[in-house]
Amino acid sequence: MQASAVTSLSEGAIPTGTGPEIAGPSPRHRTVGVMVGSGEGAVTMGGGAPIVVQSMTNTDTADIDGTVAQVAALARAGSEVVRITVDRDEAAAAVPKIRDRLERIGVHVPLIGDFHYIGHQLLSDHPACAEALAKYRINPGNVGFKEKKDRQFSTIIEQAIRYGKTVRIGANWGSLDEALLTHMMDENARSARPVDARAVMREAMVQSALLSAARAEEIGLPKNRIILSAKVSAVQDLIAVYREVARRSDYAIHLGLTEAGMGSKGIVAASAAIGVLLQEGIGDTIRYSLTPEPGGDRTIEVKVAQELLQTMGFRTFVPLVAACPGCGRTTSTTFQELARDIQNWISASMAEWKKSYPGVEGLNVAVMGCIVNGPGESKHADIGISLPGTGETPTAPVFIDGKKAMTLRGPTLAKDFEKVVTDYIERRFGAGTRNAAE
> pLDDT tens across 285-315, in order?
999 999 888 888 999 999 999 999 999 999 9
- Secondary structure element (H or E) that encloses residue 4, with its range: none
Three-state DSSP state, 377: helix
Where does residue 42 rank: exposed (0-12), middle (13-18), buried (19+ CB within 10 A)?
Answer: middle
| Residue 303 contacts residue 78 (beta carbons within 8 Å) | yes
The one-letter amino acid at 198: R
CB atoms under 10 Å from CB of 412, counted, come to 11
The sign one gets for the Cα dihedral 145, 146, 147, 151 is: positive
Question: b vs e for 210-247, b when ≥16 Cβ sit within 10 Å of the residue's Cβ?
Answer: bebbebbeeeebebbbbbbbbbbbbbebbbbbbbbbbe
Which residues 6+ apart lie within 8 Å of 190 measured at CB? none
Mean pLDDT by 10 residues, the chain (438 residues): 47 48 80 96 97 97 98 96 98 98 97 97 98 97 89 97 98 87 92 92 95 97 98 94 98 92 90 98 97 90 95 90 73 73 84 88 84 74 81 79 89 87 92 52
CA distance 135 to 225: 9
The Cα-based distances of 118 to 139, 244, 278, 368 in angstroms read 11, 30, 33, 55
Distance of CA 207 to the CA centre of its chain: 25
C-alpha–C-alpha distance, residues 215 and 135, integer Å: 18
CA distance 188 to 197: 9
Put residue 148 in one of left, alpha, beta given phi > 0 → left and psi -120 to 50 → alpha: alpha
Question: What 8-state DSSP symbol labels residue 368?
Answer: E
Residues 156-209: tens digit of each pLDDT: 999 999 999 999 999 998 888 888 989 999 999 999 999 999 999 999 999 999
Written in H, E and C, the secondary structure of 86-122 is: CCCHHHHHHHHHHHHHHHHCCCCCCEEEECCCCHHHH
State the pLDDT at residue 329.
Answer: 64
- What is the predicted pLDDT for the residue at 21? 53
Do 279 and 308 contact (CB within 8 A), yes or no? no
d(CA 57, CA 85): 8
Gap between the Cα atoms of 236 and 259, Å rounded: 14
Contact assessment for residue 161 and residue 221, using Cβ atoms and an 8 Å cutoff = yes
Helix (H, G, I), strand (E, B) or coil at 217: helix
Tell me, what's the pLDDT at 235?
A: 95
Cα–Cα distance measured from residue 374 to residue 323, given in angstroms and rounded to the nearest whole number: 9
Length of the chain: 438
Note the pLDDT of residue 156.
98
Gyration radius of the chain's alpha carbons: 26
pTM score, two decimals? 0.86
Q: What DSSP element (H or E) covers 386? A: strand 383-386
Strands (E), 7-138: 34-36, 43-45, 52-56, 81-85, 111-114, 135-138
Strands (E), 26-134: 34-36, 43-45, 52-56, 81-85, 111-114
Buried b or exposed e, range 107-132, using 16+ CB within 10 angstroms: bebbbbbbbbebbbebbeebeebbbb
Q: Which amino acid does the sequence have at 222?
A: P
The C-alpha atoms of residue 113 and residue 378 are separated, in whole angstroms, by: 46
Spatial separation of the C-alpha atoms in residues 303 and 317, rounded to whole Å: 10
